[in-house]
Amino acid sequence: MEPEIATSAAPRSAQVPLAVRLHLGRAAVQTIAHRVGADLLHIKGDTVDPTLRPGRPAGSDVDVLVRPAHVVVLDSALRRHGWSVYSTFRGGSPFGHAQTYRHDVWGYLDLHRFFPGIELDAASAFARLWRDRASVTFGGVACAVPGVAAQATILAVNAARAGAYARTEVDQMWRDATPRLRAAIDREVRALDARLAFDAAFGELERHRGARTYRLWKAVSDGGGRAEEWWGRLRASRGIREAFDVLVLAPQVNTEVLSHRLGRTPTRSDVIGEFFRRPLRGARRIGTRHRR
């Protein structure tokens, strides 16, 4: 029998132990997806094969990768079942890859329409991952997950933008991997066109210095400032229209980020103030990096 899908009228997520919330949250999201016919792969956190991350905590939110053609129908269904948008594809990250939702019971959900670092087109990449999927049960519900080699690839390309601890973790994963698993990961990296981000996770980004996306990955993996990030986004653009969108967005204040920082909806004065404060913060950051 399908689990009951909780609504926002239920007790708040803080009252549910984290591990339980994640397991049942995945079951709830999967149940919604099943009802509307949306294909999704559960990724990261407690879905990862324990041989890749022994002793690693389960994470703090639910992450799923959705078949691109099914994003709209799943988004609509999530909203009907108590999930509210916390940050959008447009405002959530430099890659525009994920939309974050919040539920009063289950907490946060990151819905990925593609995964940064995988440069194969999103539909083809999902089809490959879906073809080799496995299954893990959460809360009595079967949830599709990528195969082990694909999981390792996703962990590595995620580590390229997730900081030093995550990179140390994938270094250990690679050292512990058998020759057979390493060969399978290498095949997955090539098939998904993920070599640049995979190499960046292991400190070898400079091998790709002339690549279209090099500047963007340089900014996100080295902790570059706003100027470096937007220059990287412009260089990574595919065609004039995408480049134009970047140029239009660059000077705008990200009101989603600002509202999260303030804990309320920004006023017009807040937005104007943020517009003029950003260059000052950027100048200070550049000065600090120069002194270092």
Order of strands across the sheet that contains 84-87: 40-43, 62-66, 107-112, 98-103, 84-87
The CA-based diameter of the chain, rounded to the nearest angstrom, is 62
In this predicted structure, what is the pLDDT of residue 94?
78
Q: Look-up: residue for tokens 């098939």?
A: 191
Question: What is the C-alpha to C-alpha distance for residues 148 and 133, in angstroms, rounded to an integer?
Answer: 9
In this predicted structure, what is the pLDDT of residue 275?
45
Q: State pLDDT tens for residues 172-216.
A: 999 999 999 999 999 999 999 999 999 999 999 999 998 889 888
The confidence band for 244, taking pLDDT boundaries of 50, 70 and 90, is: low
The residue among 291 and 1 whose pLDDT is bigger is 291
Question: Which residues 6+ apart lie within 8 Å of 58 measured at CB?
Answer: 18, 19, 22, 45, 46
Strands 62-66 and 107-112: parallel
| Backbone CA torsion sign across 104, 47, 92, 72 | negative
Residue spans per domain, the chain: 1-147
- Secondary structure element (H or E) that encloses residue 41, with its range: strand 40-43
Q: State pLDDT tens for residues 138-157.
A: 999 999 999 999 999 999 99
Question: What is the C-alpha to C-alpha distance for residues 79 and 5, in angstroms, rounded to an integer?
Answer: 12
**1-147 belongs to which CATH class?**
alpha beta
In this predicted structure, what is the pLDDT of residue 91?
67
**Span of 41-55, 77-91, 229-243, 274-288 with lowest mean pLDDT:** 274-288
The residue among 284 and 132 whose pLDDT is bigger is 132
In this predicted structure, what is the pLDDT of residue 277?
60
Question: What is the C-alpha to C-alpha distance for residues 139 and 2, in angstroms, rounded to an integer?
Answer: 10
In this predicted structure, what is the pLDDT of residue 8?
40
In the predicted structure, residue 163 carries a pLDDT above the cut 80: no
Q: Across 51-156, where does the E strand assignment appear?
A: 62-66, 84-87, 98-103, 107-112, 134-138, 141-145
In this predicted structure, what is the pLDDT of residue 162?
81
In the predicted structure, residue 113 carries a pLDDT above the cut 90: yes
The residue among 9 and 250 whose pLDDT is bigger is 250
Q: What angle do CA 122, 231, 126 make, to 5 degrees?
A: 5
**Structure token digits, residue 256:** 């989603």
